[in-house]
Amino acid sequence: MQIISAVCQCRDFSEDNKVVAIKQNRFAFVEEWGVFIWIAALLMVFITGGFWIFLILGWHLGDVLNPIYTCNQCNAEIQPKQFRS
């Protein structure tokens, strides 16, 4: 996990009141899945012989290749232009 100082909308983009931007893991989307999604994904993997895994990874390719940063206060997505050093 990489931590960077940034400005966020929850603090009105204030330069005096910065937040911490936390880099998410490459497969953070899996952590958000509920029980129903897990059951459906496993069922589809068995039905399609594993092809469904490639569809899931293709759908989330942007998250895997370029993980997003989120605000530690409001969980909003932080863009690189909002980073401060």
Question: What is the mean pLDDT, run by run of 10 residues, along the chain of 85 residues?
Answer: 83 87 85 90 90 88 86 88 86
C-alpha distances in angstroms, 69 versus 1, 7, 10, 42, 79?
10, 12, 15, 28, 7
Q: Where are the domains of the chain?
A: 1-24+68-85, 33-64
- State the Cα–Cα distance between residues 53 and 62, nearest whole angstrom: 15
pLDDT attached to residue 2: 67
pLDDT attached to residue 1: 59
pLDDT attached to residue 16: 86
pLDDT attached to residue 43: 93
pLDDT attached to residue 29: 83
